[in-house]
């Protein structure tokens, strides 16, 4: 097959946070496939380039469509926000590849790394991810809430810094409050909690609080939440987690 497929992330917001490799892949593409608002971030510089926008909850269908276009000989770019490999389209592409036409395995497929919201949010407040950390999505569209609770409890008991993606939506108004209850059972009340909305954009807003006082109503789907470890500390207006256990003692 002569076609190609590149999965990219546009970064968390500001154009300069989109990598040059991603920009180059987009410029070469004959077709762009992605969630509509993510495609809207890309200027329409090439009138011959075709755009295939779809809804946010059809990732697997979108991936299959992109692979089918590439199989026709097109140079396809699948567009995600942030980094394409973090709760985004790269996994959907490989799932579609695994269950789809065996001929797709011969396609030229590549993933370009990007800047995920977790990194932009951490940079806005200092270096809270300086030690061991984990990332969890609170969306139960693709996994059960019982799985989310189990992983939250394990991460809290292991004393990771935790970055929470997809913390709240109109369809899931109560889950973040439940998540905070799970974390309060295993983490100290004074644990720092940082709500970072619109990370990586000019509209970024940070709310600093503690686990005891964290209010789930502060968050929406554009909010990334960072819950500190026992070693996370404040210096001036910044938060950081030391890399060394000795310096954290």
Query: Pseudo-torsion of CA 225, 143, 94, 65, nearest 10°?
Result: -100
Shared-domain flag, residues 68 and 126: no
Q: What pLDDT band is residue 245 in, cutting at 50, 70 and 90?
A: confident
Domain final residue pick, 93, 115, 137: 115
Written as one string, the DSSP assignment of 109-171 is EEE-----HHHHHHHHHEETTSSSEEEEE---SSS-HHHHHHHHHHHHHTT-EEEEES--BTT
**Residue 138 pLDDT exceeds 70:** yes
Q: For the chain, how many structural domains are there in total?
A: 2
DSSP state of 47: T
State the Cα–Cα distance between residues 234 and 249, nearest whole angstrom. Answer: 14
- Positions of E strands within the chain: 4-9, 31-35, 50-54, 75-80, 108-111, 126-127, 133-137, 161-165, 192-197, 205-210, 223-227, 233-235, 238-240
**Residue 102 pLDDT exceeds 70:** yes
Please state the rounded mean pLDDT for residues 104-113: 96
Please state the rounded mean pLDDT for residues 139-157: 94
Q: What pLDDT band is residue 153 in, cutting at 50, 70 and 90?
A: very high
- Calculate the CA 128 to chain-centre distance: 17
**Residue 248 pLDDT exceeds 60:** no
Shared-domain flag, residues 126 and 211: yes
State the Cα–Cα distance between residues 30 and 145, nearest whole angstrom. Answer: 40
Shared-domain flag, residues 181 and 228: yes
**Residue 51 pLDDT exceeds 60:** yes
The pLDDT mean for the chain works out to 93
Shared-domain flag, residues 94 and 126: no
Range of the domain at 90: 4-115
CA distances from 203 to 26, 116, 120, 217, 222 (A): 26, 17, 13, 19, 11
Domain final residue pick, 98, 115, 132: 115
Domain final residue pick, 115, 130, 155: 115
Tens of pLDDT, residue by residue over 62-83, are 999 999 999 999 999 999 999 9
pTM of the model: 0.91
Tens of pLDDT, residue by residue over 160-196, are 999 999 998 777 778 999 999 999 999 999 999 999 9
State residue 123's pLDDT score. Answer: 97
Tens of pLDDT, residue by residue over 32-41, are 999 998 998 8
DSSP state of 181: H
Shared-domain flag, residues 128 and 89: no
**CATH code, domain carrying 166:** 3.30.950.10
Shared-domain flag, residues 137 and 152: yes
Shared-domain flag, residues 56 and 158: no
**Residue 107 pLDDT exceeds 90:** yes
Tens of pLDDT, residue by residue over 189-202, are 999 999 999 999 99
**CATH code, domain carrying 94:** 3.40.1010.10
Shared-domain flag, residues 104 and 152: no
Shared-domain flag, residues 96 and 129: no
Tens of pLDDT, residue by residue over 2-27, are 899 999 999 998 899 999 999 999 99
Shared-domain flag, residues 242 and 205: yes
Shared-domain flag, residues 181 and 235: yes
Shared-domain flag, residues 156 and 197: yes
In Å, the largest CA–CA distance within the chain is 60
């Amino acid at each position: 097959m002569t076609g190609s497929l590149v999965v990219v992330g546009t970064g968390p917001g500001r154009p300069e946070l989109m990598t040059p490799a991603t920009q180059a892949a987009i410029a070469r593409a004959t077709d762009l496939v992605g969630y509509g608002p993510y495609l809207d971030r890309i200027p329409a510089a090439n009138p011959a380039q075709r755009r295939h926008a779809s809804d946010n909850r059809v990732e697997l269908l979108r991936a299959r469509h992109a692979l089918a276009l590439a199989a026709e000989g097109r140079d396809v770019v699948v567009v995600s926000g942030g980094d394409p490999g973090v709760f985004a389209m790269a996994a959907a592409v490989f799932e579609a590849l695994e269950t789809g036409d065996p001929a797709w395995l011969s396609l030229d497929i590549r993933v370009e790394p990007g800047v995920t919201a977790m990194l932009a949010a951490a940079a806005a407040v200092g270096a809270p991810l300086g030690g061991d950390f984990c990332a969890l999505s609170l969306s139960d569209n693709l996994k059960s809430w019982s799985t989310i609770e189990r992983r939250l409890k394990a991460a809290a008991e292991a004393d990771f810094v935790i970055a929470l993606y997809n913390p709240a939506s109109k369809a899931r108004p109560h889950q973040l409050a439940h998540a905070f209850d799970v974390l309060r059972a295993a983490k100290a009340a004074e644990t720092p909690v940082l709500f970072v909305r619109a990370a990586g954009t000019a509209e970024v807003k940070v709310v600093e609080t503690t686990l005891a006082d964290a209010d789930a109503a502060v968050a929406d789907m554009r909010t990334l939440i960072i819950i500190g470890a026992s070693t996370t500390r404040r210096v001036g207006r910044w938060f950081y987690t030391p890399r060394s256990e000795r310096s954290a003692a």
